[in-house]
Structure 1
């Protein structure tokens, strides 16, 4: 009897310990994102005012173009690697080492694609080409994020948070210095590259301090094949997501001009500022959802439902006040030169409802092995986004792009799930999660 009670108490203790680990991990991720949000907002707005609408638009156009190729350097590996390390911690050196080299090769490939396509598309402006080259090369150093995935799998985000934030804060101060010395636009691109290098160094140091050795990592062709086989749908899905996020700025730049990109980018900067919230919460909760699936179907779906309810409530709490305060926020932060961004922000902010919902649903698709279905939805949404941008941007400029983004995000993250038998279960949970205090 005593042993049963002891085991029961031990089980409860482990459960509570796991819960507190998730809460603490989420707290560190939130602290990281809030610090970054505040600093990047202050410095970013300062840079926007310093550069002016035209150059700010040029920088964001180049950044958006490079970002389109992010799926090539990340290879859709992040959540998959976390899940594999959780289940196969004994094999972490092979998993992490293989992940590092895959991301490194992906980074090189993304540089070739970004720069090559820029030239092939007939771009002749040397400044724009230089911006694309520098910003693309910065992505190579993201291979070090394999270390961050290890910390995520162990629910120990604080170590990667500290390492990356030291680099981020130092880089922010250097950017302020660039403004004070009246540096040219290209200097800010070089500083973006410098931040990636500093983050990589910081992560390696944090990993070593925790008693691990980067030098023990090793390549495994078998692991690489398994990871890529599983992540392939996510790579294409990542392209679709990047089209969601960035094609509007590229199409505005191509169809109207860099100045309108600057105005639109100011609105999007505020609207997308909040996306750190679902990213932080899901990255902390996802390992527990994967673990719950192997133990209890009831607990598994209960966690997914609660995650959706939480993120839906948060997104509404952001969207409603932002709608009414958008003009004042843009005027105070960016100045009169960006005044048109207020209306765009009031519309674009509602995209967050479906972005948050997509984040909350992603662990379900991975756990159910439906990455290919997620790919199909995102490809459909991306194509829809391009079509709507093509139709709406000429007449409504940035406002048309914002409307196109909302419709395409709603279709991919929510509505498409209703028309596929394999996803109708998650659609039902999504609908239920939109109703406050719904009880299954």
Structure 2
């Protein structure tokens, strides 16, 4: 199977799983949001944000390192699995201890504290699952990760429906996350044992020291990214209250849902980038430029369309009680656009042993985000938090692209396709404004068709893009 076909196969598995997960996830989240209301949704979203931040301690960048190294030498899988599972057991204990300290310092109510504790345990289970997902990625067998994603969404949907039917309280909704992630962890463990490798549960202190030193830049990069994507909810809660967090989280959920597109593609590309780095630098540059182009072409119409249709989208999904979320969505969608085009450069840095450089860039973004949040949230509430997120993503993206241009001494990423995409987006915007009262789903579909037709007429697709399409589908 050619590299292109293999990438397409893995992307298809991941994308199928993520689409099913997106549909089910959207359903249970919107259903849960309507039941809980903005205040309880704000508390749950706050707990999810806090535990994601503290939960970074439970990984230390080990998962990313494992995917890169095992994809280069699959015979090392048992050693990585065994040692990393032991490491994460120790890190899980530390994570929960730090959570208890943070909750105590913040003076949370008993209900809010219990929600945070339960979600922390859920996140710990998720961290263990990521070890096995890293193995699936390294062996380029993404169907198993995809099946885990689908199972997670099915179980969450069933759990939420049952909880709403039984009129459960907020603690019960938090418990659903824990139960589901525990089930996924156990199932992933048995799949890995049966299909790939049995973990070699022997402590190798030299290996620990070496891998931790290599993984720290991966970890710090994740820390800084999470800071400028998650601390805004924590700060918003402290400054403006849980209702504001609920409205902000409603918009943010849509941004998270859209992230499946770059995540799927670049998860498939990560082991490929890693192999190309040691086997073919020309192939690596080609893969980088095509990944960037594809994600930019997809992101631009999403940004334009969502900005125009934000109010209809929010009311359709959440109801009129979440109308304050509209302005946040119109701003945050551009953070999503920037995130799309930032994924290929960030994958390039991690797969080419330049994770330290990426760490510096994301550190700059994190500091900028904190400063902007402190300035903007008191005055503009959740809209200020949204502006801070967009600004941080923009700065980090510019730093990465500039650095890649210096490394390769070429204009690898930018070409006239950006301008053509914007022109096609303008035609699409006019179409949406003219027919904005049509059925929402139909309008979105027709707008997408208009965009791609105009882009094709403008020759936004090169011959090699079409050739790649034929390779993917075997024609």
When the two structures are superposed, what TM-score results if normalisation uses the length of structure 2? Answer: 0.84
Quickly say closer, same or farther: Cα 1:159–1:369, change in 2 above 3 A.
closer
Q: Distance in 2 between matches of 1:424 and 1:252?
A: 39
Q: By how many angstroms is 1:97 displaced?
A: 1.2
Q: Distance in 2 between matches of 1:164 and 1:270?
A: 18
Question: Which residue is 2:130 aligned to?
Answer: 145
Q: Distance in 2 between matches of 1:29 and 1:72?
A: 26
Match of 1:385 among 366, 369, 372: 369
Do the aligned partners of 2:224 and 2:362 also contact (CA within 8 Å) in 1? yes
Question: Which residue is 2:66 aligned to?
Answer: 81
Number of equivalences: 422
Gaps of 5+ in 1: 1-13
Spell out, residue by residue over 1:306-335, the C-alpha distance to the aligned partner (whole angstroms, 9 max, x if none): 111111111113211111111011111111
Do the aligned partners of 2:68 and 2:351 also contact (CA within 8 Å) in 1? no
* 2:327 paired with 1:343: yes
* 2:418 paired with 1:429: no
Q: By how many angstroms is 1:30 displaced?
A: 0.5
Match of 1:367 among 351, 363, 372: 351
Match of 1:69 among 54, 57, 69: 54
Q: By how many angstroms is 1:79 displaced?
A: 2.5
Q: By how many angstroms is 1:50 displaced?
A: 0.2
**1:236-315 equivalence runs, <5 A:** 236-315=220-299
Question: Which residue is 2:311 aligned to?
Answer: 327
Quickly say closer, same or farther: Cα 1:427–1:131, change in 2 above 3 A.
farther
Q: Distance in 1 between matches of 2:164 and 2:409?
A: 48
Spell out, residue by residue over 1:192-217, the C-alpha distance to the aligned partner (whole angstroms, 9 max, x if none): 11111010111123224426435x45
Question: Which residue is 1:52 aligned to?
Answer: 37
Do the aligned partners of 2:138 and 2:271 also contact (CA within 8 Å) in 1? yes
Do the aligned partners of 2:61 and 2:216 also contact (CA within 8 Å) in 1? yes
Question: Which residue is 1:404 aligned to?
Answer: 388
Q: By how many angstroms is 1:247 displaced?
A: 1.1
Q: By how many angstroms is 1:120 displaced?
A: 2.1
When the two structures are superposed, what TM-score results if normalisation uses the length of structure 1? Answer: 0.90
Quickly say closer, same or farther: Cα 1:46–1:23, change in 2 above 3 A.
same
Stretch deviating more after TM superposition (189-198 or 200-209): 200-209
Gaps of 5+ in 2: 421-459, 465-475
Question: Which residue is 1:165 aligned to?
Answer: 150
Question: Which residue is 1:357 aligned to?
Answer: 341
Do the aligned partners of 2:405 and 2:412 also contact (CA within 8 Å) in 1? no
